[in-house]
Amino acid sequence: MIWVFDAYGTLFDVDGAARQAARDDPSLTGIWAALSADWRRKQLEYSWMRAITGDHADFWQVTAEALEWATERHGATADQSARLLELYRQLPAYPEVPQVLDRLRADGAKTAIFSNGSPRMLADATASAGLSGRLDALLSVESAGRFKPSAEAYGIVTDHFACTPGDITFVSSNGWDVYGATRFGFRAVWANRSGLPVDRLPCRPGRIVSDLKGL
């Protein structure tokens, strides 16, 4: 069995950078949550627009440009912005993630990340969170030059494992990612951490869990 996980928002807490920055700098206490939400929203919007237009840039550039927008909107300083970007390389994993990966691997499964993140971003995040030894592969869209949810991106996974889409169980906290994965042919699980309604799109999740413990 092959279990493939999205990274940001699924394994790694995307609010972790802003939350830690606010702990270190109390002047961010009142704005960190809204800043983090806008940062993530723009990061995704920019990746979708680049996927649609073909104007690709790696995810680190997209992340930095999204942060520029968010810090300008919320009045953060250049030093604070630099600190936030530094912390993004060290996002914490959600608490249940190490145990879930260990149990899957103990059952004989292969485990991997497939993410919009650049190879360096994924290597830094997994090392910082202590997950490196729990994953068989870190797969990035960079080898295709197209962000998810493009079909070219999901093909990276089947190419790597030399398998059919139906051999892959793909887990993401992002409804749009679950849609793209299901459309490609993966068995997709939506980790609906925020308790959101199912997106009104042609392909629905095969399964919904509230966090990875539900796997």
Give the residue numbers annotated as catalytic, written as ranges. Answer: 6
Q: 86: part of which helix (H) or strand (E)?
A: helix 78-88
Encoding tokens for residue 62? 């997209």
* Side-chain half-sphere exposure of 184, counting CA atoms within 13 A: 26
**Strand pairing category for 137-140 and 110-115:** parallel
Scanning the structure block, which residue is given the tokens 């394994």?
Answer: 11
- Rounded Cα distance, 179 and 163, in Å: 20
